[in-house]
């Protein structure tokens, strides 16, 4: 299995002058370092770990001692995560499953264990206990996203909503694609075709496109320990709770 961490974005909402995955906590470890450490605990080798860079890519390479595989998205200003994902997929043989991880989240080892063990072809972590976490955010109601699960399948996700009935859980940002699905995508040139219509398509809307194309996207719906960092306040609040 290969793991890719999507780090190309500039994270403007944080106000940081460097990629937010390099935010350093009180223990002197960056967000990126913490997540890589967990991957290594799950037996990922350095050669199995890929990082897609964009904004100030040299800082990420320096912080990680240039010891992993790096894919540079030079168009990070005008694209989104799916474009970065496609660049990565072009670099690897279609002979292994792929674990896709957002760069602005922190999570515990259980999150990785659950998704690595899953046998589903397309599976993504969903937090069932998300609302308690979100209510700690400022203006949390402006950051609500539709995610409906029926018969243990995701049927809708990605759109903004104000109706809690449209939210079965919160998308975490850790997804696994099987090698068979990746071969299918490659044969159909699926990502190329999607990106030819919209280079800025984000990951949840990509999953919704897959659902519309009759792929089954399975949720791993659990009470999970994780946090998402959109703003500097999110980082500060997380440190206070620790």
Verdict on whether the full-model pTM lies above 0.95? yes
pLDDT tens per residue, range 165-175: 999 999 999 99
- Identify the CA nearest to 73 among candidates 93, 59, 92, 53: 53
Query: How confident is the model over 29-58, as pLDDT tens digits?
Result: 999 999 999 999 999 999 999 999 999 999
pLDDT digits (tens, 9 = 90+) for 115-130: 999 999 999 999 999 9
CA distance 235 to 104: 10
Question: What integer is the mean pLDDT of 195-221?
Answer: 98
User: Which class for 175: exposed (0-12), middle (13-18), buried (19 or more C-beta within 10 A)?
Assistant: buried
Cβ neighbours of residue 23 closer than 8 Å, sequence gap 6 or more: 14, 16, 30, 31, 229, 235
Q: Share the mean pLDDT of the chain.
A: 96
Domains of the chain (ranges; CATH) run 2-241 (3.90.550.10)
Q: Which residue from 35, 165, 159 is spatially nearest to 106, judged by alpha carbons?
A: 35
């Amino acid at each position: 299995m290969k793991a890719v961490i999507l780090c190309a974005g500039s994270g403007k909402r944080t106000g940081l002058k460097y990629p937010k995955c390099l935010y350093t906590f009180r223990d002197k470890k960056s967000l990126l370092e913490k997540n890589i450490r967990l991957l290594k605990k799950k037996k990922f080798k350095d050669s199995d770990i890929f990082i897609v860079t964009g904004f100030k890519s040299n800082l990420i390479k320096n912080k990680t001692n240039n010891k992993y595989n790096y894919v540079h998205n030079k168009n990070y200003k005008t694209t989104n995560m799916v474009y970065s994902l496609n660049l990565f997929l072009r670099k690897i043989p279609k002979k292994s499953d792929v674990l896709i991880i957002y760069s602005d989240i922190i999570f515990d080892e259980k999150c990785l264990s659950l998704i690595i063990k899953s046998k589903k072809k397309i599976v993504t972590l969903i937090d069932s206990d998300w609302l308690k976490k979100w209510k700690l955010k400022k203006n949390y109601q402006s950051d609500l996203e539709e995610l409906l699960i029926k018969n243990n399948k995701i049927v809708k996700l990605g759109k903004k909503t104000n109706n809690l009935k449209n939210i079965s859980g919160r998308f975490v940002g850790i997804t696994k694609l099987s090698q068979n699905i990746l071969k299918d995508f490659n044969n159909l040139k699926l990502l190329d075709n999607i990106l030819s219509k919209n280079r800025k398509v984000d990951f949840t809307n990509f999953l919704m496109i897959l659902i519309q194309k009759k792929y089954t996207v399975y949720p791993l719906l659990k009470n999970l320990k994780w946090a998402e960092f959109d703003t500097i306040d999110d980082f500060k609040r997380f440190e206070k709770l620790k």
